[in-house]
Structure 1
């Protein structure tokens, strides 16, 4: 009996931060499998499956180890005039992580969680955003979106309303 209890206490418990890092890794796997964004040049792309709800993928910037992306539908929110839903994504190719940094129409992270949120609030907020991203990527894959359907959008401006970065995001 003592051996069973000793074995049970050695099992590590995954905390919220560990869960978030695992979520980033899973989102990276899904995003790379779906769109291979590290191979795309900066610009705008559309994925259409014929359902009238085209997906737009903007490659905002490509760096040596990082890609900055925006993923949205071609649907405009009536209140803000911005595409909705929308997710800003930072893809870390070297670390195999993909982080949804913002998912707010017309709102910045400061408006959502405050200027100096407690660590627990920040992690909870990032868990929600990245869970949303993972579910959205699953849905897109089920619907048939993917790299084979991506078409460059000629003469389409890259959406420039990128949320301001935090000092911790640099």
Structure 2
């Protein structure tokens, strides 16, 4: 009987950056199924499913290969007046990636990791933001949000976003 020995050097390892790119791809697939962002007009869109948590999707810019968005609930943080939680998103249509560029969940990114974080800390922060985004998108899908419930767009100025 022959035995097969597998050593750790033969098993490919995914580094943190590769893992992050995988998160971007998974989030793109989720977001594409939910909202089909390339077809959305610039402006403010709303989704209401009757649970008291109305969703707001602001399409900030539409470009040939990217779309800039803000995803939030239509409720402000009582201290700052900012929508909370909210995530600024960039969709890369050609690469099929969705990146949460920054999130506001009670605190700004500068307050969390500082102005000049080391690269490893920055990658870790991006992983946490995009993991949060993936879970939020799953939650929204489970609640029934999607293109069928999306109404809009209402024209808004960039300053209002």
Q: Same fold (TM over 0.5)?
A: yes
Aligned-residue RMSD, C-alpha: 2.0
Consecutive aligned runs of 4 or more in structure 1 exceeding 6 Å deviation = none
Tell whether 2:44 aligns with 1:44: yes
Partner of 1:167: none
Distance 2:77 2:115 in 1: 26
Q: Which runs of 5+ in 1 are unaligned?
A: 163-170
Instruction: For residue 4 of structure 1, give the secondary structure of its aligned residue in structure 2.
Output: coil
Q: TM-score normalised to the size of structure 2? A: 0.91
Instruction: For residue 26 of structure 1, give the secondary structure of its aligned residue in structure 2.
Output: helix
Distance 2:12 2:160 in 1: 42
Distance 1:101 1:59 in 2: 14
Partner of 2:6: 5
Q: Count residues in correspondence.
A: 160
Instruction: For residue 123 of structure 2, give the secondary structure of its aligned residue in structure 1.
Output: helix
After superposition, the Cα gap between the structure-2 partners of 1:51 and 1:158, relative to the gap in structure 1 and judged at 3 Å, is farther
After superposition, the Cα gap between the structure-2 partners of 1:122 and 1:103, relative to the gap in structure 1 and judged at 3 Å, is same
Q: How many Å apart are 1:161 and its aligned residue?
A: 6.3
Q: Which runs of 5+ in 2 are unaligned?
A: none
The answer to whether the 8 Å contact 1:73/1:84 transfers is yes
